[in-house]
A and B are shown apart, each in its own frame.
Chain A
Amino acid sequence: MSGVVAGVDIGSTTAKCVILGEGSRVLGKSLNPVGVDIVKDAEHALEAAVQDAHLSRSDVAFVTGTGYGRYKVYFGQLVVTEISCHARGANFLFPGTRLVVDIGGQDTKAIRINERGEVVDFAMNDKCAAGTGRFLDVCANALGCDVGEIGPLSLQARHAVKVTSTCTVFAESEVTSYVSRGKDPKDILAGLHASIASRTLSLMQRVGVEPEITFTGGVSQNEGMVHALGRRLGVPVNVSPLSQYLGALGAALHGWERLPGGAA
């Protein structure tokens, strides 16, 4: 049996794809921004990952779609919610995971899982940009920084400021007023990261905080956020370079089980 499967995760900001081969080995992956034409973005994600794996599209026996745009993965055979996929992906990378924290571009989720990677409970904020990647984008913009550099910069802070606004719009004004008062951008950034960490913690508390905790989603690539979250929790959180692909990876794993002769 040619055991090659793909998982395509269409998020609010980026499309991710992971190709899995025999023995659940990651053969290839891709990450691209999402535009207006989601159907095309999904196809592009698969093609890029297939190329990365040095395969051709016909080698892929099964495709699973997930994420916010999962119903636009028309070429897939299966659709699974991103909650199940993150749970499955986190369990695969860190089998001791009991709580998954997924901070994406537009929403945040806390997912409690069992030792088999099944979802036990979850809580989600998708109503408000506060505490999501979008919050960091807006604040980075207000500080004139690139979103990729704000994490490392925040780690150099000496006296983190206290950001009191919850609302992204008001936090943006608060950032501007700190800048005009001459505060160091690094200290402001540390305050912003701490503020998201607190917000995330309250979401996590709704499902119950239980280690190990695995951090996924786009914001997990921000080391400042990894640090702030670990500090707020009092225990370090699991992260991996694959964290951002965890939804896609989980989708591929779900697909794997559907393959005739695939892992049970």
Chain B
Amino acid sequence: MITGGLDLGAGTIKGALLEDGRRILATAAAPSRGSPVHTAHRVLDELGEAANIAPGDVDYLCTTGFGRYTIPERNLQVSDFTSSARGAIFLFPKTRMVVDVGAQASRTMSVSETGKVLKFKMNEKCAAGAGRFVERCAKYLQIPIEEMGPKGLTSVHPKLISSVCAVLAETEIINNVAEGVPLPDILMGVFLSLSQRAFSLMRYVGIQPEVTLVGGLVRNVGMVKALHDTVGMDVNVTPEAYYAAAIGSAVLGHSRLLKLAQSSRGAGG
């Protein structure tokens, strides 16, 4: 049985194909620009190619994220909380707390051992706690976004940011550059500021190990280090956690498919 998960996020559309809800066959992502349907199809094609599977062979498609209602051929849609939590449990079964820092929103949730969301807190009103802040910094610091993490890691004296607003922080950062603060210190300051935001969301929900980081920022090593230092405990990360919500929705799609099969068998017999 092959199930697909599509996570239509504000910044990126991510997809995953799973076999029997247990094995990841492929993952893919594309920036969400223009028509989400069009981009989603590109992601699905890419997934099919990578896993060597024809589109018709996908038994069930489950969507999640901000744009989950835009895909007409979906069989099911689930909320971003549900899918991220399920994905985190799939990747790290002992996860009890999920931190998801996305492009436009950040969320934290506590989860049960079955991946059920127990409590959550989200910030979608302010760019300062979201990946968007990092993207903007990359732009005005003129550094490719994928270099920010490694460069930030070399920081010796991180330059903390006092502004809690992404726009006001911009002025502060530009002043720091003018004053000759080394770039790695500025970058680490940005990651720490973001971690601080995530940390307050985490405290609201109640921190408990294991903590798993998912979403857009897992690939940023600087952010992972900052979060680790801020929270003061180990944080689970894996490159696949970038696709956690897509993986989670494929897993949920699989369970739904099993249930459907059972009930039709029940009805038939």
Contacts and interface: CB of A to CB of B under 8 A. Distances in A.
Interface of A: 36, 106, 127-130, 134-135, 138, 166-170
Contact of A134 (B126, B132, B168): B168
Interface stretch (B47-55, B90-98, B159-167, B229-237): B159-167
A168 B165 CA distance: 9
SS class, residues of chain A in contact with chain B: loop
B104 interface: yes
A128 B167 CA distance: 8
B127 interface: yes
A168 B167 CA distance: 7
A167 B104 CA distance: 11
Contacts of A138: 167
Contacts of B178: 36
Contact of B125 (A36, A106, A134, A167): A167
A106 B128 CA distance: 16
A130 B166 CA distance: 10
Nearest to B104: A170
A128 B164 contact: yes
A169 B166 contact: yes
A148 B151 CA distance: 40
Contacts of B132: 169-170
Contacts of B165: 127-130, 168
A166 B168 contact: no
Contacts of A127: 163-165, 168
A169 B167 contact: yes
SS class, residues of chain B in contact with chain A:
helix
Contact of A166 (B104, B126, B136, B164): B126
A167 B168 contact: no
A137 to B, nearest CB: 9
A167 B164 contact: no
Nearest to A129: B167
Interface in B93-152: 104, 125-128, 132-133, 136
B125 A166 contact: yes
A71 to B, nearest CB: 17
Contacts of B136: 169
A128 B125 CA distance: 12
A138 to B, nearest CB: 6
B164 A134 contact: no
**Nearest 5 A-B pairs (CB), nearest first?**
A169-B127, A129-B167, A128-B165, A168-B167, A167-B126
B36 to A, nearest CB: 13
Given A36-B178, A129-B168, 10 more contacts: A106-B168, A127-B163, A128-B164, A128-B165, A128-B168, A129-B167, A134-B167, A167-B166, A169-B127, A170-B125
Q: Which of B127, B133, B164 has the most CB of A within 10 A?
A: B127
A128 B132 CA distance: 16
Contacts of A134: 167-168
A134 B172 CA distance: 14
B128 to A, nearest CB: 8
A10 to B, nearest CB: 15
Nearest to A180: B34
